[in-house]
């Protein structure tokens, strides 16, 4: 590890008119010099860079979790509608109660199998999000797939 130098380094940059005005306002409010204000801003950014980076990743994970939660809600809504429709149609068209019960059991079995497959796909997607992360700018197609599957 190199030894820190006690010699200060000169850094030069350009600011937009808006940023320069904001800097001048800050200097006026705090009484700091321009160099002190810029130095503190750079230190603050460097001290908080890891936190900002982590927060961005967490925001991407939260977005993916919300997309999956929406998908689960949509899936439950579809399944509830399917069950209600099948139940009502079966009830109205089947006078034989044993046949009616057999239809209900078959419908429940089909829905359980479909739900299990959906849960497995969702768990695989969530695992990919947690291990790889999703960058909304670079992975719009994957996010669109998550959102589309929730409809």
In this structure, are 142 and 68 located in the same domain?
yes
Q: Which residues contact 26 (CB under 8 A, 6 or more apart)?
A: 32, 37
pLDDT in tens, 21-61: 999 999 999 999 999 999 999 999 888 888 888 888 888 88
Other beta carbons within 10 Å of 143: 18
pLDDT of residue 148: 56
In this structure, are 40 and 94 located in the same domain?
no
SS3 141: helix
- Annotate 35-78 with DSSP letters as a single string: HHHHHHHHHHHHHHHHHHHHHHHHHHHHHHHHHHHHHHHHHHHH
- The answer to whether residue 5 sits within a structural domain is no
- The answer to whether residue 123 sits within a structural domain is yes
Q: What is the CA radius of gyration of the chain?
A: 29
pTM summary value: 0.38
Note down the domain range covering 32.
Answer: 17-49
pLDDT band at 1 (very low <50, low <70, confident <90, very high): very low
Q: What mean pLDDT is predicted for residues 93-113?
A: 80
Phi, psi (rounded to 5 degrees) for 9:
-110, 145
pLDDT in tens, 73-86: 888 888 888 878 87
In this structure, are 100 and 131 located in the same domain?
yes
- Decide if 68 contacts 146 (C-beta within 8 A): yes
In this structure, are 110 and 139 located in the same domain?
yes
In this structure, are 45 and 70 located in the same domain?
no
Counting the structural domains of the chain, the total is 2
């Amino acid at each position: 590890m190199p030894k820190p130098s006690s010699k200060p380094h000169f850094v030069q940059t350009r600011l937009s008119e808006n940023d320069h005005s904001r800097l001048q306002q800050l200097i006026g409010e705090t009484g700091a010099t321009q160099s002190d204000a810029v130095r503190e801003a750079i230190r603050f950014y460097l001290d908080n860079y890891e936190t900002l980076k982590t927060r961005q990743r967490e925001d991407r994970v939260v977005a993916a979790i919300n997309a999956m939660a929406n998908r689960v809600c949509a899936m439950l809504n579809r399944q509830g509608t399917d069950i209600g429709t099948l139940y009502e149609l079966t009830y109205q068209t089947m006078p034989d109660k044993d046949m009616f019960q057999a239809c209900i059991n078959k419908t429940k079995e089909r829905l359980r199998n479909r739900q299990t497959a959906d849960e497995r796909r969702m768990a695989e997607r969530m695992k990919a999000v947690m291990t790889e992360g999703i960058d909304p700018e670079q992975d719009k197609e994957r996010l669109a797939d998550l959102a589309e599957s929730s409809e």
